[in-house]
Homo-oligomer: A and B are copies of this chain.
């Protein structure tokens, strides 16, 4: 059954606040960051609402940002897997056409023998990264180089004139280690051999051009991907959706699904203003806040607690701006600060609205949500629950 078969347009507005990397991991010293944060507004929503835990991809599976968000939007994240290249292109607003292939490029530092000695090219500045990308665009013919941030660039190989397009089944050239040289762009399928040859030739040109660079004298690629046709959120749910996100990648994911991408806002107060301004323009509003994940990735527990508390403080404003019928707060995955990385741990969720029911949970946090009324379930379950709560799903069967 497709949700679209039951979708109506008669319901109320839904606000989904995604606190990136919200989930944590309690240990013998601390609770999770959310458990230990002071979150009176989230606790109030949890007390009046229902809570639970979400698994984005599956038990034990650590999700990337793409799968984590697709699952929250109701898309099976295994079936609709997006590569880093396609996500990056979407985030930068670089159009990919059928047959084009994109990859994440990391500028790095190579030693005289060609081995990687710094995988981030000495953490070069945005300005330096932009300069190197511009130089590559001028001096290398085989690809486009779009600067993302610091040492990270998006590399796009255009299909122009290639019958049947390019083939993304190319192994990463990034060994994700130092002390070894970049890998060859090996075809993972015989059909990808011509594309692999094009990538290899382009990378030879890149090496020649970067040879005299002081820091960024190497480039490794990973996550080769092409544009996938994703069914739009509107088509699947009947709902108009809007995204209010500061970071390009999350605007990009929303854009791939046909969301109206508002802004871009610079910070949470601007996100609040955009919600207020556009509250009549959609039924489903996705608000993305990045800081908790960034702090978790840095292994900075205190910063992650503080980031969560900042979202908590903004909750009344977000609700006042949108006046939604249903509010949900959750994360796209866990980023425990002890691991300084994404993890597989289930992510707490709360749903608040006049029809959500009640459970005995009155604080928002993993160890309380265990006993919540939503149980522990796949993240893809959330969207139909929100649609039902907002009155957007009709009865199934007679």
Contact = CB atoms under 8 A, between A and B. Distances in A.
A161 to B, nearest CB: 28
A67 B396 contact: yes
A398 B358 contact: no
Interface in A20-70: 25-28, 31-32, 48, 53, 57-67
Interface string A70-94: 0000000110011110010000000
Contact of A398 (B66, B78, B339, B388): B66
Contact of A61 (B48, B382, B393): B393
B67 A397 contact: yes
Contacts of A366: 357, 373
Contact of A370 (B25, B223, B375, B388): B375
A367 B376 contact: no
Nearest to A371: B371
A1 interface: yes
B82 A398 contact: yes
A134 to B, nearest CB: 25
A317 interface: no
Nearest to A56: B396
Interface of A: 1, 6, 25-28, 31-32, 48, 53, 57-67, 77-78, 81-84, 87, 104, 223, 336, 338-339, 341-346, 354-355, 357-360, 366-367, 370-377, 381-389, 393-398
A285 to B, nearest CB: 18
A370 B367 contact: no
Nearest to A24: B357
19 contacts: A6-B61, A27-B357, A31-B358, A32-B357, A57-B396, A58-B384, A59-B382, A59-B388, A60-B387, A62-B396, A63-B395, A64-B396, A64-B398, A66-B397, A81-B397, A83-B398, A338-B355, A359-B367, A370-B373
A57 B381 CA distance: 12
Looking at A31, A84, A355, A374, the one whose CB has the most chain B CB atoms below 10 A away is A355
Contacts of A62: 388, 393-396
Contacts of A31: 358
Contacts of A370: 359-360, 371-373, 375
Nearest to A341: B395
A385 B344 contact: yes
B339 A355 contact: yes
A377 B59 contact: yes
A5 B178 CA distance: 23
A175 B112 CA distance: 77
Given A78-B396, A82-B398, A343-B388, 7 more contacts: A26-B357, A58-B384, A62-B396, A63-B396, A67-B396, A87-B398, A346-B375
B354 A358 contact: no
Contacts of A60: 381, 383-389, 393
A65 B398 contact: yes
Contacts of A57: 396-397
Contacts of A66: 397-398
Contacts of A355: 25, 336, 338-339, 343
A56 to B, nearest CB: 9
B339 A388 contact: no
A27 to B, nearest CB: 7
